[in-house]
């Protein structure tokens, strides 16, 4: 049980928080033929776009309503309309995610109402689904925006299960924002290993996995199609990953009647075992041999790796469900979660196996680390690099953003295989920091 330290403070230093519109835009990156649009000033878009470009090392389609001082005061409906029509004409996307920012929300625009009028009077928009997501920057962080976008997509596009038709042998996946394209890819593989189809919403594994297409595409290429979202109601079961996906899972159940199950995490032996039982039941078949072997490999990795985790002090910072996953794995391997920070409060963080979780920024993490004394390893995004350099602590880059390393999109930490590899990577870093590095020259 952890104490949640949530003291409001006037100054955030080295922020851990990211903006919810960024999270929402990232969700739309996992839709095929999509182009999200921020309703705000052009900087709102530029900053979010640059962050995603640096992390994924891909071109990111993201537009702006380009609000000026005058249009902000007079109201932004005209800008929204002009932007939607321009995008529809130039890029012909299947879906536009219209995402509000702090700027539009502070003024208090009735964007949903405006959108109805705009859609009614513009023929140009007939071929494009416009999904509105209210994601003001001043409420929540990355997870909040991502979850709101997925919920809006379910509410806007999914259709109820047709009566008297058997569900398809298909599993709907609702991955949280802490799952990388590599994670989603692996999750789909596991589902398919049971002879089931998998549809992920959103699906970054087919849009931001790094492909070199043969033509120029101004929208996303790959990801969940609108048809796949529409027919989510025909799935046998929906699997949501991460507590922040609960509202989306509930919305899907309410809209389509598909039974849903929520996994708080898919990193760690027991957690993956639970997934295997669920999938085995849904498929009506035993766990396939390949996954049984993978389980064996993970058990062996735990046996080989536990020496290097035992008694070691680890600090983790990130969005609540990222912290939840990493924090549990570290303690399950015998490490101590000596410092933990999240940008926003989430009730389940009180269940983390550590003394305190601080809601705040990297500065708060630093304070906790100082109190804890020696910290052997920090697990956080690339923004932790400055504090790790100051204290000479090793940083394992994970989460978002990772702008100074290659392969962020493919880092896989779920399932038996992902957990196994994560244990190896963390274990190697801990080994190095402990004088176990056999390649080091003596003296």
Cβ of residue 40: shortest distance to another protein, in angstroms? 8
Cβ of residue 310: shortest distance to another protein, in angstroms? 34
Give the residue, chosen from 3, 6, 9, 437, that forms a contact with another protein under the rule CB under 8 A: 9
293 binds another protein (CB under 8 A): no
Q: How far apart are CA 190 and CA 171, in angstroms?
A: 11
Measured CA to CA in angstroms, residue 201 lies from 46, 59, 172, 377 at distances of 25, 21, 7, 33
Sign of the CA dihedral with 44 first, then 50, 56, and 62 last: positive
| Residue 397 bridge partners (DSSP) | 380
Determine which helix (DSSP H) or strand (DSSP E) holds 341, and give its type and residue range.
strand 336-342
398 binds another protein (CB under 8 A): no
- 8 Å CB contact between 8 and 361: no
Q: Residue 15's closest CA among 322, 386, 373?
A: 386
Give the residue, chosen from 1, 7, 10, 289, that forms a contact with another protein under the rule CB under 8 A: 10
Instruction: Decide: helix, strand or coil at residue 345.
Output: coil
Task: Give, in degrees to the nearest 5, the angle at Cα 66 between 63 and 72.
Answer: 140
241 binds another protein (CB under 8 A): no
Query: How many residues are present in the chain?
Result: 443
Give the residue, chosen from 11, 120, 163, 303, that forms a contact with another protein under the rule CB under 8 A: 11
Cβ nearer to another protein, comparing 16 with 329: 16
Q: How far apart are CA 149 and CA 133, in angstroms?
A: 6
101 binds another protein (CB under 8 A): yes
Cβ of residue 359: shortest distance to another protein, in angstroms? 12
Q: How far apart are CA 432 and CA 318, in angstroms?
A: 24
Cβ nearer to another protein, comparing 55 with 186: 55
Within 13 Å and on the Cβ side, how many CA atoms surround 393?
Answer: 27
Count residues binding another protein (CB under 8 A).
66
Q: How far apart are CA 174 and CA 224, in angstroms?
A: 11
17 binds another protein (CB under 8 A): yes
Cβ nearer to another protein, comparing 78 with 304: 78
21 binds another protein (CB under 8 A): yes
Which stretch in 16-24, 120-128, 151-159, 433-441 sits in contact with another protein by CB under 8 A?
Answer: 16-24
Cβ of residue 123: shortest distance to another protein, in angstroms? 17
The DSSP code for 36 is -
110 binds another protein (CB under 8 A): no
Cβ of residue 127: shortest distance to another protein, in angstroms? 16
Counting beta carbons within 10 angstroms of the beta carbon of residue 26, is it exposed (0 to 12), middle (13 to 18) or buried (19 or more)? buried
103 binds another protein (CB under 8 A): yes
Which stretch in 57-65, 147-155, 261-269, 367-375 sits in contact with another protein by CB under 8 A?
Answer: 57-65
Measured CA to CA in angstroms, residue 139 lies from 68, 134, 135, 177 at distances of 23, 10, 7, 17
Per CB under 8 A, which of residues 113..132 are in contact with another protein? none
Cβ nearer to another protein, comparing 15 with 247: 15
Site string (136-175) toward another protein, x via CB under 8 A: xxxx-x----------------------------------
- 8 Å CB contact between 337 and 365: no
Cβ nearer to another protein, comparing 25 with 275: 25
Give the residue, chosen from 75, 156, 169, 218, that forms a contact with another protein under the rule CB under 8 A: 218
Cβ of residue 87: shortest distance to another protein, in angstroms? 4
Cβ of residue 383: shortest distance to another protein, in angstroms? 6
Cβ of residue 11: shortest distance to another protein, in angstroms? 4
239 binds another protein (CB under 8 A): no
Site string (58-97) toward another protein, x via CB under 8 A: xx---xxxxxxx--x------xx-xxxxxx--x-------
Q: What is the DSSP string of 292-337?
A: HHHHHHHHHHHHHHHHHHTT-EEEEESSHHHHHHHHHHHHHTT-EE
Cβ nearer to another protein, comparing 46 with 277: 46
Cβ nearer to another protein, comparing 105 with 321: 105
Measured CA to CA in angstroms, residue 417 lies from 189, 290, 309, 313 at distances of 11, 11, 19, 24
Instruction: Decide: helix, strand or coil at residue 37.
Output: strand
The residues binding another protein (CB under 8 A) are 8-15, 17-19, 21-22, 37, 40-48, 50-51, 53-54, 57-59, 63-69, 72, 79-80, 82-87, 90, 101-103, 106-107, 136-139, 141, 212-213, 215-216, 218, 383, 385-386, 403
């Amino acid at each position: 049980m952890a104490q949640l330290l949530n003291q409001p403070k006037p100054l955030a230093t080295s922020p851990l928080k990211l903006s919810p519109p960024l999270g929402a835009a990232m969700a739309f990156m996992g839709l095929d033929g999509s182009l999200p649009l921020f309703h705000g000033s052009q900087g709102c878009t530029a900053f979010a776009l640059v962050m995603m470009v640096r992390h994924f090392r891909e071109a990111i389609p993201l537009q702006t309503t380009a609000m000026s001082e005058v249009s902000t005061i007079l109201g932004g409906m005209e800008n929204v309309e002009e932007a939607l029509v321009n995008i529809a004409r130039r890029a012909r996307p299947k879906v536009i995610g219209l995402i509000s920012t702090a700027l539009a929300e502070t003024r208090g625009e009735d964007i949903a109402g405006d959108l109805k009028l705009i859609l009614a009077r513009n023929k140009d928009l007939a071929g494009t689904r416009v999904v509105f997501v209210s994601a003001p920057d001043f409420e929540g962080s990355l997870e909040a925006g991502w979850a709101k976008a997925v919920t809006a997509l379910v509410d806007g596009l999914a259709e109820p299960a047709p009566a008297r038709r058997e569900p398809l042998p298909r599993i709907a996946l609702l991955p949280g924002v802490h799952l990388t394209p590599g994670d989603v890819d692996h999750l789909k593989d596991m589902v398919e290993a049971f002879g089931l189809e998998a549809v992920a919403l959103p699906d970054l594994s087919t849009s931001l996995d790094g492909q070199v297409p043969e033509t120029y595409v101004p929208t996303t290429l790959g990801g969940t199609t609108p048809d796949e979202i529409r027919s989510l109601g025909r799935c046998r079961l929906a699997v949501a990953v991460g507590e922040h996906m609960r509202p989306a899972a509930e919305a899907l159940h309410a809209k389509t009647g598909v039974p849903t199950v929520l996994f708080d995490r898919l990193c760690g032996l027991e957690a993956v075992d639970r997934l295997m039982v669920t999938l085995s039941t849904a498929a009506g078949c035993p766990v396939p041999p390949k996954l049984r072997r993978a389980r064996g490999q993970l058990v062996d990795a735990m046996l080989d790796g536990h020496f290097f985790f035992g008694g070691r002090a680890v600090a983790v910072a990130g969005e609540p469900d990222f912290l939840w996953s990493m924090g549990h794995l570290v303690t399950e391997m015998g490490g101590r979660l000596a410092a933990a920070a999240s940008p926003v409060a989430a009730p389940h963080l009180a269940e983390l196996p550590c003394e305190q979780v601080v809601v705040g920024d990297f500065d708060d993490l630093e304070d906790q680390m100082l109190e804890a004394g020696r910290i052997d390893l920090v697990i956080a995004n690339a923004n932790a690099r400055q504090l790790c350099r100051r204290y000479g602590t090793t940083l394992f880059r994970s989460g978002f953003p990772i702008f100074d390393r290659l392969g962020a999109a493919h880092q896989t930490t779920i399932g038996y295989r992902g957990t196994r590899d994560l244990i190896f990577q963390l274990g190697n870093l801990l080994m190095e920091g402990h004088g176990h590095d056999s390649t080091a020259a003596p003296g």
